[in-house]
Structure 1
Amino acid sequence: MKPFAHVSRRSFILNAAATVGTAAIAPTFSLAQSGFTSKRPAPSARRFRSKAVDAAIESVSSRMRDPELAWLFSNCLPNTLDTTVGFTNGPAGPDTVVVTGDIPAMWLRDSSAQVWPYLPFLTADAELARLIEGVIRRQTRCILTDPYANAFMPDLGSAEPLSWSKTDRTDMKPGVGERKWEVDSLCYPVRLAHEYWRITHDTRPFDAAWTRAMNAILETFTAQQRKTSRGPYRFQREAFSPYDTLSEDGYGNPARPIGLIYSGFRPSDDACIYPLNILGNFFAVKTLERIEEMLTEIAHDTTAASQAGRLRSEIKSALDAHARIHHGTAGDIWAYEIDGFGNANCMDDANAPSLLAMPYLGSCAADDSRYLATRRFVLSDANPYFFRGSAAEGIGGPHIGQDMIWPMSIIMRALTTSDESEQRQCLTWLKTTHAGTGFMHESFNKDDPAKFTRAWFAWANTLFGELILTIDRSNPKLIEKS
């Protein structure tokens, strides 16, 4: 497994001039008849090569009428495989590390999302299937190491966390990169494992260790309902931003125990204002449904499966009773987060899970009336993190701050609509805001895309590839040549 270089998290607000020559994405060859030069590493420098993915890139891009979109797709879809995976296939089974890109650590959320678009290719590429099996096995080890951690080091025996985590006041374990408790961190690996199983019917990664990991998830979710105590998790950090630490001696702001799971941090790794994060709890309901099914069908653990079912019903009932609010201008919508005392935060953040992304993650139907009302809210000026500028419009969040749109939100907007004109507009914004780099970024300024953060953010890149694949399946005339 090749080593990953160490980089500090807070050093990624870069201008375009500093990123065009990034060695990790150096040009290597030209797309046929396009005039655009590929930004993929040379074939010999790619961390993993999938014939099925490469064939899909060639097939889809050759049919796309817009050469720049085809170029972006060809660069972005394979970015996780090209640059972020470390894959070994030993006697104990496959093991796959997936770092985020410019941060040399593996987030449970990001790593699951980064490889998700490759799942349709598993039946055509046995080695790719082994790589994904390795991700599942690695995530199992991570969860068993610490179910409260969001990020892990490639070496799970390492005593060195990420540089900004070294003085955190929390119960750090070897191998943990950062220990921010986020409900969705335990949801994403289950989503990945369930879909892998559904597609391949392979049960090899779902061994005794995996069953223990599922039980750890159930125990963690239950503990963080905080019915009788605040539980074992605490976190504090000396930081300039209040979003990087938790109040109340590290337990976070108070909330009433109403059956929902408390979360210290949001999917953005920013601290919750109100710790009952609605979209995370919706994701947990779907996750518990998947755990119940897999524990029943694969592990034959009816006791744990029943526990998952009871917990799912309890959280769903709490959401039904408390997640809906009446907004002064938007009407009846879902809150972003609540405290159970009647207070609610009305906003959305670009990171998924988000209110916008709920149908994408299976948390609701795309035509659900309350989702549609909520969607109108989050894509309007009523959402404090919706930004409209001369370059584009989209959602950001406090992680980067005002006027910074995340391409991820534009991609998710396109993935959660069947409106052809809306999808076309999203594609236009994505095409015109990559600042000549050929890749998606974490965020860009609403009026000046050359002001962007994170030149190498593999999740956003792969998600863009997923968008093109999705459109190619559902509405190919939108991107195909006449």
Structure 2
Amino acid sequence: MDVSRRSFLEGVTGVVGAAAISPKSIFAQESFTSKRPAPGARRFRSKAVDAAIASTAAKIRDPELAWLFSNCLPNTLDTTVEFTNGPSGPDTIVVTGDIPAMWLRDSSAQVWPYLQFLNADAELARLIEGVIRRQTRCILADPYANAFMPDLASHEPLSWSKTDHTEMKPGVGERKWEVDSLCYPVRLAHEYWRITHDTKPFNAEWARAMQTILETFSAQQRKTSRGPYSFQRQAFNPTDTLSGDGYGSPARPVGLIHSGFRPSDDACVYPLNIPGNFFAVQTLQRIEEMLTGIAHDNAGATQASRLRSEIKAALDAHGRVHHPTAGEIWAYEIDAFGNAICMDDANVPSLLALPYLGSCSSSDSTYLATRKFVLSEANPYFFRGSAAEGIGGPHIGQDMIWPMAITMRALTTDDEKEHLQCLAWLKSTHAGTGFMHESFNKNDPAKFTREWFAWANTLFGELILKLDKNNPKLLQKV
């Protein structure tokens, strides 16, 4: 449902609970009307999340920032989930917002900030269990798809996918092969297991899905053939289709995983996407741990370990480039024939986000050089304007900064001045809506895309929670 047709009921309900409220949070309520749906209209209500909103918002000196946080953190639960708890276990659909489909990437990232509350909210834990079970079914339906319809038996994909030349399967909304689409569900499942120690969602069906991921990653190393996946679309924008008869540009088989598309859903120029392969290394380590600790599948765990080692070695051998001004940095994409793209994209996984995803330390020397590059005008998709500066990408185009990238910049630094600057940009560019957007013009935040983009909202909420945990005094300085 498009947010322009969505009527958010006004009122302060949901910004804070009925408990005692500090004067500054009362001021925030009086000055800024909540953009959350009324309690009875919310898709899911978590007492633990609402309590965290109340306690954290009360610590934020700036009333507008407190209001933004209170609107954004619960946006996925408020507006995008469909949760059922039937005899076969919980099932949770998570749409992106204004697009009525479930992306494996987005759905995992949208609920990620809520994992820290699982042990305080059993019903929230069941909702996340339902996401894991649903994602398992999606992976088994088609490991090459990026988006799925709520009805996995449906033969009606997203409107723009109806004439795609690919092996379309029931339940698939869009079939763009992206390495990160299989990484995000594993990250979510592993963290759920680590926090709760619950193994109920990790049944035989889940084990088959993990084996499917291993087989798909191996096939897309393309050591002996181009593999089973191809995709073509008749589209005005060339980033919506793949060259090479639908298999993408050629690349030398050095052990890295080929990807048709980036996390932005734009076609790769060179199919060896470096951030995606870094994410795959972490994913394979998690699969190895879970197959060992839960499924007791030593053969599968060994397969995951060998594949992880091979990809890591290939990244070390081929992933770096020497940039004329930045020095030795990670490339964004390569073909292993000697060609590389030096850039970064706002969508995650990105080069900027490598420490956030656990792929390296934020103090790693190559990362720091790469970070300096991607946050400079040497990166063709870094834009600096009168409203803000930040990373965009070809998905939306020139001069359009993504709030997600500003948030990720703050999540990957310990510099307090950088935190404050990022918060100032995020606060001043929501165009009065009370929510983060997909992108906004560097000089005019009123020119933005996607008014209802839940991932960007909950990621911003995650940032505020992290700052409150690691440097609570900072929230008094904004």
TM over 0.5: yes
Gaps of 5+ in 1: 8-18
SS at match of 1:206: coil
Give the drift of 1:63: 1.3
* Separation (CA, whole Å) in 1 of partners of 2:66 and 2:12: 14
User: Structure 1, residues 38-84: CA drift from partner, whole Å, max 9, x if none?
Assistant: 00001000000000000000000011100000000000000000000
Partner of 1:455: 451
Given candidates 200, 216, 223, the residue that maps to 1:220 is: 216
TM-score, scaled to structure 1: 0.95
Work out whether 1:469 is the aligned partner of 2:452.
no
Partner of 2:199: 203
Work out whether 1:318 is the aligned partner of 2:314.
yes
Partner of 1:340: 336
- Read off the aligned partner of 1:417 and give its amino acid letter: T
List structure 1 segments (4+ residues) > 6 angstroms apart after TM superposition.
none
Partner of 1:76: 72
- Read off the aligned partner of 2:44 and give its amino acid letter: F
SS at match of 1:33: helix
SS at match of 1:177: strand
CA 1:25–1:358: 2 relative to 1, 3 Å: farther
- Read off the aligned partner of 1:100 and give its amino acid letter: T
For the Cα contact (< 8 Å) 1:391–1:433, is it kept in 2? Answer: yes
* Separation (CA, whole Å) in 2 of partners of 1:180 and 1:226: 17
Given candidates 413, 416, 427, the residue that maps to 1:420 is: 416
Partner of 1:65: 61
For the Cα contact (< 8 Å) 1:123–1:129, is it kept in 2? Answer: yes
Partner of 2:403: 407
Higher relative contact order (CA 8 A, sep 6+): 1
Give the drift of 1:211: 0.2
SS at match of 1:440: coil
SS at match of 1:136: helix
For the Cα contact (< 8 Å) 1:24–1:83, is it kept in 2? Answer: no
Work out whether 1:138 is the aligned partner of 2:121.
no
Partner of 2:85: 89
Work out whether 1:23 is the aligned partner of 2:17.
no
Partner of 1:163: 159
- Read off the aligned partner of 2:358 and give its amino acid letter: G
User: Structure 1, residues 405-462: CA drift from partner, whole Å, max 9, x if none?
Assistant: 0000000000000000000000000000000000000000000000000000000000
Give the drift of 1:294: 0.3
Counterparts of residues 247-396 of structure 1 (less than 5 Å): 247-396=243-392
SS at match of 2:383: strand
SS at match of 2:476: coil
Work out whether 1:49 is the aligned partner of 2:45.
yes
- Read off the aligned partner of 2:27 and give its amino acid letter: Q
* Separation (CA, whole Å) in 2 of partners of 1:214 and 1:197: 15
* Separation (CA, whole Å) in 1 of partners of 2:190 and 2:10: 36
SS at match of 1:479: helix
Give the drift of 1:370: 0.2
* Separation (CA, whole Å) in 2 of partners of 1:266 and 1:27: 38
Give the drift of 1:480: 3.1
User: Structure 1, residues 244-274: CA drift from partner, whole Å, max 9, x if none?
Assistant: 0000110001111010000000000000000
* Separation (CA, whole Å) in 1 of partners of 2:210 and 2:453: 29
SS at match of 1:95: strand
SS at match of 1:181: coil
Give the drift of 1:139: 0.2
* Separation (CA, whole Å) in 2 of partners of 1:25 and 1:223: 46
SS at match of 2:153: coil
Give the drift of 1:33: 2.1
* Separation (CA, whole Å) in 2 of partners of 1:473 and 1:346: 35
* Separation (CA, whole Å) in 2 of partners of 1:143 and 1:419: 39
* Separation (CA, whole Å) in 1 of partners of 2:219 and 2:304: 13
* Separation (CA, whole Å) in 2 of partners of 1:364 and 1:344: 21
Work out whether 1:445 is the aligned partner of 2:441.
yes
Give the drift of 1:310: 0.3
* Separation (CA, whole Å) in 2 of partners of 1:456 and 1:471: 24
* Separation (CA, whole Å) in 2 of partners of 1:239 and 1:458: 27
* Separation (CA, whole Å) in 1 of partners of 2:265 and 2:43: 27
Given candidates 231, 242, 246, the residue that maps to 1:235 is: 231
- Read off the aligned partner of 1:396 and give its amino acid letter: G
CA 1:26–1:383: 2 relative to 1, 3 Å: farther
Partner of 2:18: none
SS at match of 1:29: coil
SS at match of 1:41: coil
RMSD over equivalenced CA pairs, Å: 1.1
For the Cα contact (< 8 Å) 1:278–1:319, is it kept in 2? Answer: yes
Give the drift of 1:24: 4.7
